[in-house]
Structure 1
Amino acid sequence: GAPRSASAAPRPAELPTVQLMMLFSVFKGNTELPTAVNITWSSINFKTILQWQPKPSGYFYTVEIHGQTSDTKKKCTLTTETECDVTDALRNVKETYTAHILSVQSTGMDNFEEPPFASSEKFTPYNQTVLGKPEIQHYTQDSKLNIVFQDPLTPYMFPNGSFQSIRDIFKHDLEYKLYYWKDQSSGKKDATTKSNTFEISVDNKNNYCFYIQAIIPSRRENRTGQESMVLCTSVGRTILDAVIAIAVITLAIVLSVILCKRKKAKAAREKEPFNGI
């Protein structure tokens, strides 16, 4: 992140005030507050949470986000929490940021001096946010396995209020990989697309299972995203279900005919004695 700029040298007229402030701090016996440790960035689809320890006792935290080129942004001012949603401070997703977590007391003359702080690792959302699960919307199978899926959404909005998807941000850097295999088999195949559909030639006598994940091939790390849920086609089961359904219907018809004949025979037998009288 950007280094903190040193204060400009005080003009002669300011010297007495500065000396008084320093004197006050010394007499006050200000003890150094504990600083944050275990600072981590947790980011999925550009929703980014900064987390740290320990829980404060008798002091507060304030988060500052320092970009390489952007102005410093303050978040979660005077919080007693140990996490902070910094998503809206990282809108320039290709910029590299550092977080400073300041340990501060709420009131008093501490505001005149630099509070102790801890720095995070550098974080570049474009390169480091985790790609979330794609949502499979529709799939069919005959001689081809056709799958339609949706891009994960980010927390960032367009001016019209709709959410930007990861495709709106990554554009041509974004790809999706499909992994598919015959049901009850372990041999996986894969295919890649830059669109939101897959069309794969398959054996229409077998059911297939599959999942999808987003990929950013240009990344050095975190290239592959979270896996979608595994879904399986049911073309084989459909045929079996149809056979069973036909058998059940046939049996029902046969039973109906037998019952009907028995009723007629019974009715005929009941009439016979009367005919004989």
Structure 2
Amino acid sequence: MASLKTVLYLGVCLSVWIITTADKNFVPAAEEVHWISLDFKTTLFWTTKASKYTYTVKYFRSYYADILTEPATMDHDYDLDEFPHTYSPHFNPYRETNISAVKFTVEVVDESRVIVNITDPLTSIHERGKQLSIRDILKSDLKYKISYYKSGSTGKRDIMSDSSTAVVSGLDAGQSYCFMVAAFIPSRPQTTQNGAWSTQRCTNGHIMQELSLGAWVGVVFILLIVLIIIITVTVLCCRCCRRRNKTLHTSQSSAPV
């Protein structure tokens, strides 16, 4: 009987040890680790199938992250080296952060020139109480690509500006033009050189030059009607004045002396 108890006790202990060891061996590692960065605000993402574990993230320049999976409640017997580590790809914010769409205005100078004023997007980085823009960080590395086309045309033109203000010249007088702007960092790899394109802004051309043939006929017809009305009113007024003058002259001529 004593030997049977001993065997059962050893069996229970062995089962507990196997279960504990198996639990340690099958701790789920973080998967699909990747970075997402916009205007230098960077977030690290990963996926996991379990919820009873905590994750410790260590990150290093230039940057890469080390994600350690560990149980929510730790025993002293656990050795951290037994738990899985997952490493992220290397990430360099200066060369890889995405740049959001910029805001800009278009100011008409004359019939052939406009000024494009661009607002530099703000980043999540603060320095001495000031929120830095992408211009503050990228400095002379930052350029802007301006794409524009004549309203109704499919041909686009691109110009590059070193600053946040650009003069676009050579426009056709009286025509409407549409503009889009995107940040451009030439020192980066080609895949991350371009920022997101802005929404489109268009100028107003002279309405008379953009009218269709039917609209032109309508305008001419209205002008003729107005001209006829003016002539008719003028003729009627002249006749009334003549009649009044004739009546006044007749009455004065027949008055007794």
TM-score, reference length from structure 2: 0.68
Matched, 1:227 2:194: no
Q: Percent identity?
A: 32
Any unmatched runs of 5+ in structure 2?
A: 1-16, 237-257
Structure 1 CA distance, aligned partners of 2:105 and 2:131?
18
Matches of 1:239 and 1:146, distance apart in 2: 23
Which of 111, 124, 128 is the equivalent residue of 1:159? Answer: 128
Q: Which amino acid in the other structure matches residue 191 of structure 1? A: I
Structure 2 CA distance for partners of 1:27 and 1:38, relative to 1, 3 Å: closer
Q: Give the number of the structure whose alpha-carbon radius of gyration is greater.
A: 2
Q: In the alignment, residue 156 of structure 1 is paired with which amino acid?
A: I
Aligned with 1:212 (options 170, 176, 181): 181
**Structural mapping, 1:131-150, within 5 Å:** 131-140=99-108, 142-150=111-119
Query: Which structure 1 segments of 5+ residues have no match?
Result: 1-24, 68-95, 262-277
CA offset at residue 229 of structure 1? 0.7
- Note the aligned Cα RMSD (angstroms): 3.2
CA–CA distance in 2 between the matches of 1:27 and 1:59? 17
Matches of 1:234 and 1:137, distance apart in 2: 13
**Offset, 1:58:** 2.0
C-alpha contact 2:106 2:116 (8 A) present in aligned 1: yes
> Which of the pair is proportionally richer in helix?
2
Deviation at 1:174, TM superposition (A): 0.9
Alignment of 1:37-116 (within 5 A): 37-67=31-61, 96-109=62-75, 112-114=79-81, 115-116=83-84
> 1:14 is matched with which residue?
none
Counterpart AA for 2:145: K
In 1, the alpha carbon distance for the partners of 2:24 and 2:208 equals 74
Query: Once the 2 structures are TM-superposed, how far is the Cα of residue 216 of structure 1 from its aligned partner?
Result: 0.8
Partner of 2:29, secondary structure, is coil
Matched, 1:174 2:174: no
Normalising to structure 1: TM-score of the pair? 0.64
How big is the shift at 1:60? Answer: 2.0
Please state whether the residue corresponding to 1:169 is helix, strand or coil: helix
SS in 1 for 2:37: strand
Q: Distance in 1 between matches of 2:145 and 2:131?
A: 23
> 2-side partners of 1:137 and 1:189: how far apart?
18
